[in-house]
Amino acid sequence: MDLFPSIFVAILLPASGLLARAQPALCSNVPPGSLERAACHERLRQWREAEEVYRAHLKAHRDSLPAALGHIEVLLQIEEAARRQHNLDGAVEQAVEASEELAKLVETHPDEPAVLKLKAWVLENVEKNPSAAEQVLTKITRIAPRDGDAWSLLCSFYLDSQRIDEGIRCFESAVALNSANPLYRAGLARGYGAAGRPAEAEKAFAAALATAQPDSNPLVFLWYGDFLAFAERYDESGKAYSRIIGADPGNGEAWLKRAAVDVKAGQYHKAEKDALEALAQGAGEREAQAVLLRVYRGLGDDARAQAAAAALERATDVEEARRAKWRRAKTALEQAERLMQADRFSEALPLYDSVTKDVPGYAEAWFAAGMCYAHTAEAERAEQSFRTFLRLQPLSADGHSALGLLLLSQQRIAEARAELQEALRLDPASTEAHEALDSLAAHAR
């Protein structure tokens, strides 16, 4: 997740000079629940803290598009971290929640470029559906033809898909829109390099590097390092990656790319250190283990080569299992939601139950299952589902309200009143809780 967030954060949450170099203590000085606080945590890669801030902000500002987009982005970052820790269920939970939130956002903002950029990224990197991603990116450039970041995303997509001529023309359009942007110039240079036009690539990279900084424009240096590595200029390539590492030691991709260059240069011990550091900083495990495999083979260390090969195979298996589980849950949720909208609750139930078994930490599936059970007169199962939901989302006014109404239907007045009052405390505008409590008060009178 390297290309998209750098553009995404720049568009939605422009950094002040203060926040651009955020320190942990600084985040506590930013107003709690604010977008600036969330952005501060993001810059420090404190994804859980950022997620909590975005969630709190959305409770107070339900229509905040920057908060909704930021929340989805950090969910994807947490999903990636869970994958690195081999936490299959945790990774799937975050991916499912991010996917569902994004689907709702696209429904309400079908022509918003920022929403569509995130959708395109998810289609390409999570759902592995490049043709659909291209359609969305192309749509953005039609809706917002002067959005240089949209062009940059589309151009990079073309280059990644080996459609070099299209990528070059696309980056030329981006540069024409903003010739001062070093990322656009570096993208154009990357295209020239892929087309076998090294002199033009070198010139375009020089223009990009003249204004780029490794902390704010790491992709410029990554792409330049790749260009140098392809030209077998390994020492210069390693220096380009080192500039990123010097500015941001937590950039796992820079460590990984430098490790790969070390291997090509025959510097196996240095490559091993860089690859292990890449793993520690969260680079892709499969890629890092592949580098380590080459290192140990180069050193003639059969035992460690076998261990790296086994780790590479395990990482591949985990990734395939995660993707299969996520697809099952996503398909089931899509089908169940259509059935719910048609009031076919008994048919939706087994689908939601399958999601709660596959992804037990995904709260919304428990809430939907509770609603289905309530509509099919299975009060005990409905209560269990709502209580599980509230264990996962204790600050949900809707959850407390739904449980309160269910308890009220069973004449469990004291329990119902407590849940409804909690719903009202969390959301004073909760109409259902207000009406139910008013009804209880009138009945008491």
Q: Can you give the pLDDT at residue 235?
A: 96
What mean pLDDT do residues 204-218 have?
A: 94
How many C-beta atoms lie closer than 10 Å to residue 48's C-beta? 12
pLDDT of residue 445: 67
For 30, 67, 205, 280, the CA distances from 15, given in Å and listed in that order, are 13, 15, 25, 27
Mean of pLDDT values over 57-72:
90
pLDDT in tens, 9-63: 333 333 333 233 445 557 878 888 889 999 889 888 899 999 999 988 988 888 8
Cβ pair 152, 187 in contact under 8 A = yes
For the record, the structure tokens of 251 come out as 């950039």
Report the 10 Å Cβ neighbour count for 232: 10
Q: Tens digit of pLDDT for each residue in 170-204?
A: 999 999 999 999 999 999 999 999 999 999 999 99
Alpha helices in 359-412 (DSSP H): 363-375, 379-392, 397-409
Q: Give the residue-averaged pLDDT of 131-152.
A: 93
Every domain of the chain and the residues it spans: 1-126, 330-444
The pLDDT of residue 6:
42
Q: How many CB atoms lie within 10 A of CB 265?
A: 16
Q: Output the pLDDT for position 224.
A: 97
Classify 330-444 by CATH class: mainly alpha
Q: For the chain, what is the mean pLDDT?
A: 88
pLDDT digits (tens, 9 = 90+) for 306-356: 999 999 998 888 888 888 888 898 899 999 999 999 999 999 999 999 999
